[in-house]
Chain A
Amino acid sequence: MSKSGMLYVDKDTLFHRMDGAAKLIVFAVWTVIVFLFQDLRVFVPLFAIGLILLFLAQIPYKRIRLLVWIMVVFNLFNSIFTLLITPSYGSEVTGTATVVLDLGYNVLTLETCFYVLTLTMKYMSLMPITVLFIFTTHPTRFASSLNRIGVPYKIAYAFNIAFRYVPDLQTEFRNISNAMQARGMGFGKGEGSMRDRVKHFISIAIPLVQSSLHRIEVVSNAMDLRGFGRHQKRTWYSATAWRRADYIIAALSVVAILAAIAVRLSGFGRFWYPFS
């Protein structure tokens, strides 16, 4: 977590300069394309492009390490369980069966292995762009651009506030758990039975929720006292105007999604298996 308490990393690159709404469009189009296809020949290039973009955004790896690892581990588990639970699913899709291993209850087929690889790459191709979006979008600027594309400003502002207070909540959690440990509550290994430890974690939720509620009261009073919600509209101090780059990228995104739909409708992009 940064000292500023935000996920946002301040740098001056194309992605940082891009308007939040334009970025949201890119992100949405990217996601839709990924879910339209089931073809490794689409995912690998997307993943590669994503990585290059991520590299260009100059986000220090240290900052995104945790998120990347969470995604990788999730992906691994997903793959392993798919292989174990439905080891011959790939064959149902292709109609061919090349047995790799006899698991006893079922057989693992090469088709399934390839299917899982495709699935993994599908999720992996979303990873760079997600990280890029989260770490290069300033919460308030994002809120202001959401507001401009038609989202009511109260909802847009809620995003901003959420981003603002999540890191504070983490600090608070640590404080409370320290205080509880000093009073003899066990959270770690060997400090009580599993049941007790879980119970202890749950008991922290109470002060955490209470302090959040208190904070909400204070913040909402502070906002009221400074005129939030007075008018139907509001302006934004950190509003960014759409530049030429934003229009071009948005236009390219629209072209890309239309092209992808056309390609998909022509029949390309179902599960691709090269060895049949």
Chain B
Amino acid sequence: MTEPIISFKNFSFQYRSLSEPTLKDINLDIFPGEKILIAGPSGSGKSTLAHCINGLIPFTYTGTISGEYQLKGKRPDELSIFEISRTVGTILQDQDGQFIGLSVGEDVAFAYENECMPTSDMKARVESALGVVDMLPYMEHSPHDLSGGQKQRVSLAGVLSMDVDVLLFDEPLANLDPASGKHAMELMEELHQQHKQTMIIIEHRVEDVLEQPIDRIIVMSEGRIAAVGTPDELLASSVMHEHGLREPLYISALKYAGVRFQAEDHPSKLTELSRRADVQEKLRTWLDDGDRGMNIETAAPLVSMKQVRFSYDGEEDVIQGLSLDIGQGERIALLGNNGAGKSTLSHLLTGIVKPSAGEIYFRDERINKWSIRRRGKHIGYVMQNPNHMITQQMIKDEIALGLRMKGLPTDVVQEKVEETLRICGLYGYRDWPITALSYGQKKRVTIASILAMEPELMILDEPTAGQDYKHYTEFMDFIVDLADRGMSFLFITHDMHLALEYTDRAFVLHDGACIAQGETSNVLTNVAAIQQANLKETSLGVLAREAAIDAPEAFVRRFIQHERKGRRS
């Protein structure tokens, strides 16, 4: 057997500032040429493991290490971070941070520059690296002109330029729209086929990663390795579910329908199962069991937009005559590719920008001219990046901020803050400094701080970004409760799971116009609209089609009913 390229033996690591080890007793060998997925909920230690592999631990983040870690047979303390970086190339989650140069070409050349390569040799090498990731026409572009997926490709080219043995991807799908994520995974597979580097992908969106072949999955949980196996082995078991990971939707559907399968049935390939007559039979029976149709009552509109137009420069309309009603207590998904106008739409609703034509109503009042502040009393807006919203040191104060601005008496503020903390599951943290929280927890704090103000409509921009399945489920269930009490929600999201399971209606934006709207299960099985908006058909829809079920949207609806019943009971 060949020597492992990466080898952990009884490895533990504790950050200097923490009282408990983040990684416990890791035993793991990764062999040259393997393609590995490291999955786990947030706080499971998967990012810390990545830091150990790329040398940020121990060179940037210090702490106590016990046990053994070897990269190509050498311990990291025998190397420097620079030597490690020649073996392990990292593609960071934050593409803006990773993009150092002021143009695409310059960014790719960054590593060459540091290696003192003569300027004349660089150009040719940069061109060939950009050619590999299909970004050559963008060589002179600045990072601001690129989409998230394109930035990631440039980062990849920058790392490929170093001829590394190991490519480490830290949550590569986190900031991409579904179709771009799919392309990214395809590109990674292509590179793996051609260059046979070792590939390590850290990601909790298991379904999206598994669309391409993976050799082994490592499931992390609470700082330990909970399971290691091939995708087939792990999908046939229930280990992902047990450790707070979302298994692929079609796998859940098969399990709900009572289909039994083993690793030998190759559950990682959807069509292997969907073609089998016994599986199709079981799926049909399950579909017929369900109650037909979900009736959406049309609620009186709380907020409505009528023929709204908006343009930043007075020439090109970013929003092109959009009409939209949000009913009381409704949960609506706003879907669309990056740049479709989703953020602009939320800015129009919150008053950050004003429409150039058309009307916006709140109940029956025209609010076109209302200031951000005035609208803030009724329409809460939670931004995608929690760091843009947090101004206080303590969680309690952060949540109290809006209430104090309203001029409420101290005891009322206190009472409301405590209630909100309890609802959001943050009560145990109330006296913590915000800096001690994880990204996902900070996000909760920002949502709590808006919630405390009791707006009638809450706009959530990518609420589940950076949250793992377990937290996200808890959190979304809590939002469902609020919606049942009459609060309305508009979710701006790329997350098809979220739209499917938690929203009644979906609204698809493309180039500032609405290209599809209606019941979410119908919209998400509308293949034409999905493709146009750079979204991705859910695996449920694919399963239904492949299994020759006539009405995919009915199948999707059946799945949602099953899940909701499961959650409520």
Contacts and interface: CB of A to CB of B under 8 A. Distances in A.
Contacts of B392: 206
Given A3-B144, A219-B100, A237-B122, A183 B450 contact: yes
Contacts of B350: 178, 182
A221 B373 contact: no
B360 to A, nearest CB: 15
Interface in B478-520: none
Interface string A160-192: 110010001000100110111111111010010
Contacts of A175: 383, 385, 388
B24 to A, nearest CB: 24
B114 A234 contact: yes
Contacts of B341: none
A226 B371 contact: no
Contact of B110 (A168, A207, A228): A228
Contacts of B159: 226
Contacts of B123: 237
Interface stretch (B3-11, B53-61, B411-419, B550-558): B53-61
A227 B105 contact: no
Nearest to B110: A226
Contacts of A219: 97, 100
A84 interface: no
Contacts of B110: 223, 226, 228, 237
A238 interface: yes
A229 interface: yes
A172 B55 CA distance: 31
Contacts of B118: 235
A204 interface: yes
B97 A237 contact: no
A4 B144 contact: yes
Contacts of B144: 3-5
A225 B113 contact: no
Contacts of B385: 175, 211
B389 interface: yes
A158 B225 CA distance: 41
Where chain A touches its partner, the secondary structure class is helix
B389 A140 contact: no
B162 interface: yes
A175 B402 CA distance: 17
A93 interface: no
A176 B388 contact: yes
B142 A6 contact: yes
Interface residues of B, number: 74
B86 A181 contact: no
A86 interface: no
Contacts of A122: none
Contacts of A3: 142, 144-145
B389 to A, nearest CB: 5
A225 B142 contact: no
A222 interface: yes
B143 to A, nearest CB: 8
Nearest to B114: A227
Given A203-B391, A204-B391, A230 B114 contact: yes
Nearest to B159: A226
Contact of A235 (B54, B116, B406, B453): B116
Interface stretch (B187-195, B199-207, B329-337, B374-382): B374-382
Contacts of A6: 102, 142
Nearest to A175: B388
Contact of A5 (B111, B116, B142): B142
Contacts of A233: 116
B162 A226 contact: yes
A139 B86 contact: no
A23 interface: no
Interface string A214-245: 11001101111111111101111111000000
Contacts of A226: 85, 100, 110-111, 114, 158-159, 162
Interface string B79-122: 01110011001101010111011110110011111111111001
A214 B434 CA distance: 14
B157 to A, nearest CB: 12
Given A180-B391, A183-B405, A184-B405, A225 B85 contact: yes
Contact of A238 (B106, B116, B372, B388): B106
A213 B380 CA distance: 28
A215 B81 CA distance: 20
Interface in A1-32: 3-6
A184 B113 contact: no
Contacts of B97: 215, 218-219, 221-222
A239 B391 contact: no
B454 to A, nearest CB: 12
A210 interface: yes
7 A-B pairs closest in CB distance: A218-B97, A184-B405, A237-B109, A182-B376, A4-B142, A227-B114, A181-B372
Given A226-B100, A227-B115, 18 more contacts: A140-B106, A182-B380, A183-B453, A184-B377, A185-B405, A204-B391, A206-B392, A207-B390, A210-B390, A219-B100, A225-B92, A228-B114, A229-B114, A230-B82, A230-B114, A235-B117, A237-B112, A237-B123
Interface of B: 54-56, 59-60, 80-82, 85-86, 89-90, 92, 94, 96-98, 100-103, 105-106, 109-119, 122-123, 126, 142-145, 158-159, 162, 347, 350-352, 371-373, 375-377, 379-381, 383, 385, 387-393, 401-402, 405-406, 435, 449-450, 453
12 contacts: A160-B102, A175-B383, A183-B453, A206-B393, A221-B92, A221-B97, A222-B97, A226-B114, A230-B80, A235-B118, A237-B106, A238-B106
